[in-house]
């Protein structure tokens, strides 16, 4: 049978191959269908079992070649002793979704760029649909077409060009900007105009990348299952110190697509602009890192630009990032670079590596101690930073956990107290707070008029009743430049009728008194009521019973401070008033204070009775006693009872 097959091949050796309706067949064997296969030998390659016109690719790195065989012919040769494996091709496809633009700043590329790292001389093979060589925003170093086995690797789909732009769109003030604009990109076309291809052509492309000494392989595609030839080639590539990056897949399932599932491939998941996992991003234990993958704008065919979604978009972010790492650390192995990749991440899921985010979102690897080759201080040590994203969180870590206490506004500039590897330390009232480096770009100067380096805070604080805007009025207009989070206590620098001065992120700011509640100190003796009819409670029964109401705008003495309450004198017992709706006061008018003893006699209110102050010569209501209250008398007049209430002399009609 073996010799018979060789004879058939010999007869057909010189017949031409043609294509019809997507099916490959021999010219004088009508409708004879062929499959692309890769034949892997144990050691020595035997070319005699397949005629030369059927061999489509010779591998340089493994003992194998690709060929065209019929189903019957595959069966005929599968038991030949020298053959280790006959691998039939699978369909490989890509998927993407249109959306909106974002991503470059979130992973801290401006900071890395400030250290003169642009991916210079790093060779990246983009295994995809090819690249638009004529695009004005791309500089393509070379490539190959593995579908037709020629040098025409131009993109007829758009996917490969989009991937290429994310990696290396030029820094030329037009279009978009790639992560590593000076990297050398190569278009290895094995996917057709429909974004489909075969594992045979993919294997050929990987082999070419190894032989041509690529530094990084970008594989923004995937398929289910696995492929032994591809796995063998990926293992070979990794042993050659090549970094390999693959897309996790866009099916939203708990299974990583191949080849990203291979242990030597860095599997990449996609996040959205809120740093949440994209709903389409596959998950699984092989996920190593995540990157922006929702609504990414990049280059496209015919010299255009397009916005797309997918782990296909997140993958080139990581490939470009790795090019920057390799430029920074040219002598490190791919294992060492991979370790650095995992360490320079923002942990977005459960603590440590997880199946959704891996180690987390890739972040700038430049630290404050590092300098560029010239020995000059790198820009991350500059004294100010500009906020790159909307509503950037400010964190307080004094409790040992990261607690959001406020937000910075996009495009605003703030002074830096101290630099850390992944954080900026800023002044936040009376203490230091932190923002992530990826949310800010270091700058050397500013035009601000409200820098607060010499402004001191007082020992008085307020609590934000809602997310409270902070305004800059140095221009004569109120310009919001930050937000204090609801429930956050903040130190006061100055007090005005309707405004409170603060030191917010190193700048003088103002918040409206309508948005805050001023905090009390235990030594405060007086408080002023800022809301209508604040209740006074009696708790002697074990329950809170309303016994009266305080009047808005009036001031009262207090006996003691509790966490959320004022204790006041209320006849011969204590009443309690919630602090909400009150603020500290410096004193009570001396004429209002009551120091007379009680007579031992009482009255009981027949209705809700108003208590008046007459120290000004006019009757001014300052408290209401609730119906049914028994209250001690200081002195009796014809029409009035004099009483002592909350440290003040008051009068109630008899």
Q: Residue 293 contacts by C-beta under 8 Å, 6 or more apart in sequence?
A: 269, 270, 271, 272, 278, 281, 309, 310, 311, 312, 313, 314, 317
Query: 216 in the Ramachandran plot: left (φ > 0), alpha (ψ -120 to 50) or beta?
Result: beta
Three-state secondary structure readout of 251-308? CCCCCCCECCCCCCCEEEEEECCCCCECCCCCCCCCEEEEEECCCEEEEECCCEEEEE
Q: How many CB atoms lie within 10 A of CB 578?
A: 15
Rounded CA-CA distance 308/163 in Å is 10
Q: How many CB atoms lie within 10 A of CB 223?
A: 18
Rounded CA-CA distance 362/268 in Å is 10
The answer to whether residues 109 and 440 touch, using CB atoms and an 8 Å cutoff, is no
Q: How many CB atoms lie within 10 A of CB 386?
A: 16
Q: H or E element: which one contains 395?
A: strand 392-396
The DSSP call for residue 591 is: G
- Which residue, 470, 460, 475, is CA-closest to 394? 470
* CA triple 318-145-230, angle to 5 deg: 60
DSSP notation for 35-101: EEEEEEESSS--GGGS-GGGEEEE-SSSSEEEEEE-HHHHHHHTT-TTEEEEEE--EEE---B----
- Which residue, 461, 593, 578, is CA-closest to 530? 578
Rounded CA-CA distance 265/211 in Å is 18
Q: Residue 541 contacts by C-beta under 8 Å, 6 or more apart in sequence?
A: none
Sign of the torsion formed by the C-alpha atoms of 303, 306, 308 and 314? positive
Catalytic residues: 128, 159, 312
Rounded CA-CA distance 113/372 in Å is 11
Rounded CA-CA distance 220/238 in Å is 18
- Enumerate the H helices of 159-286 as residue ranges: 159-168, 199-211, 228-239
Phi and psi angles of residue 216, each rounded to the nearest 5 degrees, phi first? -140, 140
Rounded CA-CA distance 105/430 in Å is 30
């Amino acid at each position: 049978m073996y010799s018979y097959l060789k004879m058939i091949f010999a007869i057909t050796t010189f017949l031409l191959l043609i294509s019809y309706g997507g099916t490959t067949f021999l010219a004088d064997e009508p409708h004879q269908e062929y499959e692309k296969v890769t034949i892997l030998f144990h050691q020595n390659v035997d070319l005699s079992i397949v005629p030369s016109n059927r061999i489509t690719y010779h591998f340089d790195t493994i003992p194998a070649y690709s060929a065209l065989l019929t189903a019957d012919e595959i069966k005929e040769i599968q038991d030949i002793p020298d053959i280790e494996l006959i691998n039939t091709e699978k369909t490989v496809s890509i998927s993407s979704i249109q959306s909106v633009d974002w991503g470059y700043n979130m992973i801290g590329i401006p900071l890395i760029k400030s250290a003169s790292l642009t991916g210079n001389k790093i060779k990246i093979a983009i295994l995809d649909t090819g690249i638009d060589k004529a695009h004005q925003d791309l500089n393509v170093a070379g490539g190959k077409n593995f579908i037709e086995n020629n040098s025409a690797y131009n993109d007829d789909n758009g996917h490969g060009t989009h991937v290429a732009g994310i990696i290396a769109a030029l820094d030329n003030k037009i279009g978009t900007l790639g992560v590593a604009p000076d990297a050398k990109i190569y278009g290895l076309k094995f996917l057709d105009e429909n974004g489909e291809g075969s594992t045979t052509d993919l294997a050929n492309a990987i082999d070419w990348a190894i032989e041509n000494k690529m530094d990084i392989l970008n594989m923004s595609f995937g398929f289910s299952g696995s492929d032994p030839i591809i796995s063998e080639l990926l293992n070979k590539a990794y042993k050659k110190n090549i970094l390999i990056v693959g897309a996790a897949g866009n099916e939203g399932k708990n299974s990583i697509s191949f080849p990203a599932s291979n242990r030597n491939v860095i599997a990449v998941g996609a996040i959205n602009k809120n740093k949440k996992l994209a709903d389409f991003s596959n998950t699984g234990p092989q996920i190593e890192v995540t990157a922006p993958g929702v609504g990414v704008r990049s280059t496209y065919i015919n010299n255009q630009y397009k916005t797309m979604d997918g782990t296909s978009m997140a993958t080139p972010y990581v490939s470009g990032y790795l090019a920057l790492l390799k430029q920074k650390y040219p002598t490190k192995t791919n294992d060492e670079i991979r370790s650095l990749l995992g360490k320079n991440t923002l942990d977005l899921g459960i603590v440590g590596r997880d199946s959704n985010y891996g180690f987390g979102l890739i972040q700038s690897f430049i630290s404050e101690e590092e300098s560029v080759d010239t020995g000059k201080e790198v820009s991350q040590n500059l004294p100010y930073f500009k906020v790159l994203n909307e509503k950037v969180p400010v964190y307080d870590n004094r409790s040992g956990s990261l607690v959001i206490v406020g937000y910075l506004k996009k495009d605003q500039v703030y002074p830096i107290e101290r630099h850390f590897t992944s954080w900026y330390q800023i002044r936040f009232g009376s203490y230091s707070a932190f923002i992530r480096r990826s949310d800010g770009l270091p700058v050397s100067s500013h035009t601000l008029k409200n820098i607060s380096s010499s402004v001191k805070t007082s020992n008085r604080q307020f609590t934000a009743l809602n997310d409270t805007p902070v305004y800059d009025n140095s221009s004569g207009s109120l310009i919001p430049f930050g937000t204090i989070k609801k429930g956050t206590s903040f130190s006061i620098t100055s007090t005005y009728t309707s405004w409170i001065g603060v030191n917010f992120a190193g700048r003088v700011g103002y918040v409206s008194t309508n948005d805050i509640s001023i905090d009390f100190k235990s030594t405060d003796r007086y408080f002023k009521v800022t809301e209508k009819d604040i209740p006074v409670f009696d708790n002697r029964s074990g329950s809170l019973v309303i016994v009266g109401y305080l009047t808005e705008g009036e001031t009262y003495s207090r006996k003691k401070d509790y966490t959320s309450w004022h204790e006041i004198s209320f006849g011969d017992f204590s009443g309690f008033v919630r602090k909400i709706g009150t603020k500290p006061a410096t004193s009570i008018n001396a004429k209002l204070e009551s120091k007379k003893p009680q007579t031992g006699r009482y009255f009981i209110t027949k209705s809700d009775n108003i208590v008046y102050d007459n120290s000004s010569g006019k009757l001014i209501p300052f408290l209401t006693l609730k119906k049914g209250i028994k209250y001690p008398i200081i002195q009796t007049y014809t029409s009035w009872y004099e009483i002592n209430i909350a440290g003040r002399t008051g009068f109630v009609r008899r």
